[in-house]
Amino acid sequence: MRAMYAVLGARGQVVTAWCATASGLAALLAAALVPADAEQGPIQKLMYLHVPAAWLAYLSFTVVFVAGVAYLRTGQARWDRLGEASAEAGVVFAALTIVLGALWGRPVWGTWWTWDPRLTTTAVLLLTYLGYLAVRRLPDSPARAYRWAAVIGVAGFVNVPIVHLSVVWWRSLHQPASVLRVDGPTVAAPMLVTLLLAVVAFTFAYLWLVGTRMRLRRLEERLTAAALGPAVRSGR
């Protein structure tokens, strides 16, 4: 936990911001220089945004799962803060995955959307964690709302491997995995390097987003405590 706070703390945020900027520029330059796919043409370069967004959505919801389990076991607010921040980042990445997939699918498949197994399970994943965030806003005891949200975050994680394996288990328009394969990547080396650079950039952006959101949450809690303090003392 100390290592996590070192990365997500104020100093860590400066480092992650610079790393995200540097790796993002490197990925952008590499994407501009790497040749386009022979069959799909320039539209294929959306891969360098679409795939990292999907992977970071997986990572975000994995962190929500871990934080949810820890919160349900310990009741410590720091785990709830981490879960909330990671869920918000994950929702952004999942929505970005769907939007970029639609932009890619229109010229390749001839349609913006189809009830393909990968697309459908990804949409369910997004809705699940939107529900996680909505439950947190219920006009009830905050502690109870946070516990219910943690349960949703833990249970909703079941869909992450389903999304990833949907192209294997069911017939799908979506192409199968070309990087995370047992027999190794099938992507050409220049494309793979560019993709990994983009993943690094997205990962640093994720760390910055989560760290910033957790700091805002702590500030909100302090302001709320300061505002309620006089009211509590006057009610004695």
- Residue 52's pLDDT is 95
Range(s) of the domain holding residue 59: 12-211
In the chain, the number of structural domains is 1
Q: Is residue 228 part of a domain?
A: no
Task: Kindly state whether residue 174 falls inside one of the protein's structural domains.
Answer: yes
Residue 232 lies in a domain: no
Q: What is the pLDDT along the chain (236 residues), one digit of tens a residue?
A: 566 656 666 677 888 999 999 999 999 999 999 988 878 888 889 999 999 999 999 999 999 999 999 999 999 999 999 999 999 999 999 999 999 999 988 888 888 888 889 999 999 999 999 999 999 988 778 889 999 999 999 999 999 999 988 888 887 777 776 776 656 676 778 888 999 999 999 999 999 999 999 999 888 878 877 776 655 455 54
pTM of the model: 0.88
Closest CA to 103 of 92, 115, 111: 111
Question: How is residue 64 written in tokens?
Answer: 């929500």
**CA end-to-end distance (rounded Å), the chain:** 37
Q: How far apart are CA 22 and CA 16, in angstroms?
A: 10
Q: Is residue 99 part of a domain?
A: yes
d(CA 31, CA 226): 49
DSSP secondary structure, the chain, as one string: -HHHHHHHSHHHHHHHHHHHHHHHHHHHHHHHHSPPBTTTBGGGGGHHHHHHHHHHHHHHHHHHHHHHHHHHHH--HHHHHHHHHHHHHHHHHHHHHHHHHHHHHHHHHSSS----HHHHHHHHHHHHHHHHHHHTTSSS-HHHHHHHHHHHHHHHTTHHHHHHHHHHHS--SSPPPSSS-TT---S-HHHHHHHHHHHHHHHHHHHHHHHHHHHHHHHHHHHHHHHHHHHHHHT-
Query: Inter-axis angle of helices 47-74 and 142-156, to 10 degrees?
Result: 130
Q: Which pLDDT score is estimated for 189?
A: 85
Question: For residue 7, is it within any domain?
Answer: no
169 part of a folded domain: yes
Is the residue at 230 inside a domain? no
Q: Is 225 inside any structural domain?
A: no
Q: What is the CATH number of the domain that holds 129?
A: 1.20.120
